[in-house]
A and B are shown apart, each in its own frame.
Chain A
Amino acid sequence: MNLIVFTILAMLAATAVTVARIRDLWAAIMFTGIYSFLSASWMLILDAPDVAFTEAAVGAGISTVLMLSTLVLIGPSDAGRRKPALVPLTVVAITGCALVYGTLDMPHFGDPNDPIHLHPRPSFVEKSQVDMHGLPNVITAVLASYRGYDTLGETTVVLTAGIAVLLILRKEKDEPEREAAAQ
């Protein structure tokens, strides 16, 4: 299993570097699609099917379409190759080092004695089978039922954002006809 994870992570890194370096915007959108598929399968292997579900639907599906419609509006050309920016590279490198340093104190992946497994009360794990009539996935039980209203609110926010983006991206060509029809 580790072999699969490392291979997928290596391909993720290669895809990310390609997205950053490629000048053809159309190809860059395609690489973000590949990135979503790879990261979704990685999340699946880490046993987070709900996150992988969202990543596949939003990352590979909707955001590719949204970026393509943006490309329709702004045109596929790029400003051209810029000079290498040293200051942002340094800032990113330092931030990355700090983040890696921060992970050193974290508990080992999958350790049953993690604070996250002990702290909020393990009773969720014990109770959710009975509460949810045998739903096997505890995360799904917490997200969709214990925290159902919270998830509903999040979905409303996402829906509003999607409607706003669609309103911005729609065609304006037949606007006079619509005004004429209104009058």
Chain B
Amino acid sequence: MTGIFLITSIAILITMALALIRAMLGPTVFDRVLALNMVGTKTVLLIAVVDVATERGDFLDLALLYSLMNFIGMVALLRFTEYGSFSREGTEL
């Protein structure tokens, strides 16, 4: 692993750790939602960096899947916070 990739992954890991600390301290719900979203995004970036650094090429699909999961999870969490359930009244789950 060459220097630039190592430095990039260290920076991503530091960001992840800071987001984790914010999630632990976070007084409001939205601090935690943002922190979770941040961890998800940094995971995608870390996978991309590891993929390029190890010259695998097949991890990028996983990075795509992770970003989709991140998005769906975020929508579900925010819907739950807003409505208290996933659906408005009268519709099926």
Contact = CB atoms under 8 A, between A and B. Distances in A.
Interface of A: 1, 3-4, 7-8, 11, 14-15, 18, 26-27, 30-31, 33-34, 37-38, 40-41, 44-45, 49, 52-53, 56-57, 60-61, 64-65, 68-69, 71-72, 136-137, 166, 169-171, 174
B70 A26 contact: no
Contacts of B70: 37, 60
A57 B69 CA distance: 7
Interface of B: 1, 6, 9-10, 13, 16-17, 20, 23-24, 26, 29, 32-33, 35-36, 39-40, 43, 46-47, 50, 58-59, 62, 65-66, 69-70, 72-73, 76-77, 80-81, 84-87, 90, 92-93
Contact of B65 (A53, A65, A174): A53
B43 A33 contact: no
Contact of B86 (A8, A15, A68, A174): A68
Given A4-B50, A60-B40, A64-B73, A15 B20 contact: yes
* B interface secondary structure, majority: helix
Contacts of A137: 58
A44 B47 contact: yes
